[in-house]
Structure 1
């Protein structure tokens, strides 16, 4: 792995945070570009993107602290602030960011919630996919031992499985957007995002089946697997229940 970039004998840059920072900048730029394409407020889209990033950071950190390793942080709660030492859970960040984002849209753009979440669907796919590159470089979220030709340090590159899956999802979503005018089902606002929920959840289940790192207590499955099942079911319900005729 390649966890740090050594600038001098005393200064080094964590590749995890470098990659995440670059991905965040790319996604914010893309959000603004897409807001023009969707004829939505660029300011509101940018505010929503920043809100998602802030609450995603907080939620990811807190989920790790209180679910995965609370005993360690209980010894010294100041350690919670030492985020540079690592310790984030994607779904913790996603759940809190999702709640904050929907709450923001409910008050600021109640009639356009589905349009905004469709705008963000490919962006979320890109950010998650490239974000897993950061995990690969940092050496976290590693897979089980194997002797396959593409093994990395004798393990499944579970992070890269997630990268390839989510970038494939990104291509599917962009393809659906491009042909949306001819596809009555996906003309309905919100359905691109709900479809992303289903595909993302499936991809995460695949990744979870290969992982071998500690992710907190399990109840048959890891907590991430349970959340993935919940996201898949919710996405299917939203796809199924939303009438085709509404808000076309």
Structure 2
């Protein structure tokens, strides 16, 4: 675990930030490669990645402020907390909304591009969770199990205490989700199937991993904020999967025009 990787003069490279950057790069390369094979625009994928990263970070920060507003107002290190705090679900929601808005602006099928990009999102999340492990945030409950880890240099995790490595469990889960979705995409399912699969798999996985986590988080009753959101995410995934399998999602404007033209030719 390395909270700080190295320094170049006054610039310090942190493990978390490095892994986030690596995750974004891996997501971009993977999505671009798959877009080229699928005959989709790699330029649009590049622009979509940049915009969704920006929108995702903003959404993750906003949701963090909403869920931790009370503690943020009470703490003496308000600026530090605002700098470090993010809630992944806020990033997912904002990232998807950003993709929909951009694709509508470009008059292409938002769902087609989201289906292609969503496995790459899971890859980025998987690498990002390694960054969580390196910094010690998002840590798990104390344990005596063989897989427990001890943090000795972290500003977030309790030091010299054996903890469940929930960050690594999340990373493995995210990468597994990415692999499942990429394999499923090869069968060319209906639009929305891959995206709904992500909502289902990530929602269930996140709900379960929250049980093992022990870091300070917001809550809604007996549930953590992320567990509460997971319920709606899974419900949305179920509905979307049903509609996708029925082929009820609309085509893009360009596709509709092509279909109309084909009908006239016939």
* Equivalent position of 2:148 in the other structure: 151
- Residues 1:167 and 2:175 aligned together: yes
* Distance in structure 1 (CA, Å) of the matches to 2:129 and 2:199: 17
- Counterpart among 181, 193, 196 of residue 194 in structure 1: 196
Query: Given that residues 65 and 80 in structure 1 are in contact (C-alpha distance below 8 angstroms), is that contact kept between their aligned partners in structure 2?
Result: no
* TM-fit CA distance, 1:87: 1.1
Q: CA deviation at 1:142?
A: 0.4
> What 5-or-longer segments of structure 1 have no aligned partner?
182-186
- Rounded Cα–Cα distance in structure 2 between residues aligned with 1:218 and 1:189: 33
For 1:7, what is the secondary structure of its paired residue?
Answer: strand
Q: Per-residue deviation at 1:8?
A: 6.5
The aligned length equals 238
Q: Which residue does the alignment assign to 1:60?
A: 60
Contact 2:63 2:86 in 1 (8 A): yes
Deviation at residue 113 of structure 1 after TM alignment: 2.0
Match of 2:104 among 103, 106, 109: 106
Alignment map for 1:28-177 (pairs within 5 Å): 28-72=28-72, 79=79, 83=83, 86-110=84-108, 112-153=109-150, 154-177=162-185
Higher mean displacement: 196-205 or 60-69:
60-69
Residue 75 (structure 1) shift: 7.8
- 1-side partners of 2:126 and 2:110: how far apart? 24
User: How far 1:188 moved relative to its partner?
Assistant: 0.7
Task: Judge which range, 95-104 or 52-61, deviates more.
Answer: 95-104
Once residues 110 and 65 of structure 2 are traced to their aligned partners in structure 1, the CA distance between those partners, rounded to angstroms, is: 32
Q: TM-score, normalised by structure 1?
A: 0.87
TM-score between both structures, scaled by the size of structure 2: 0.81
Separation (CA, whole Å) in 1 of partners of 2:207 and 2:219: 17
Q: Which residue of 1 aligns with 2:12?
A: 12
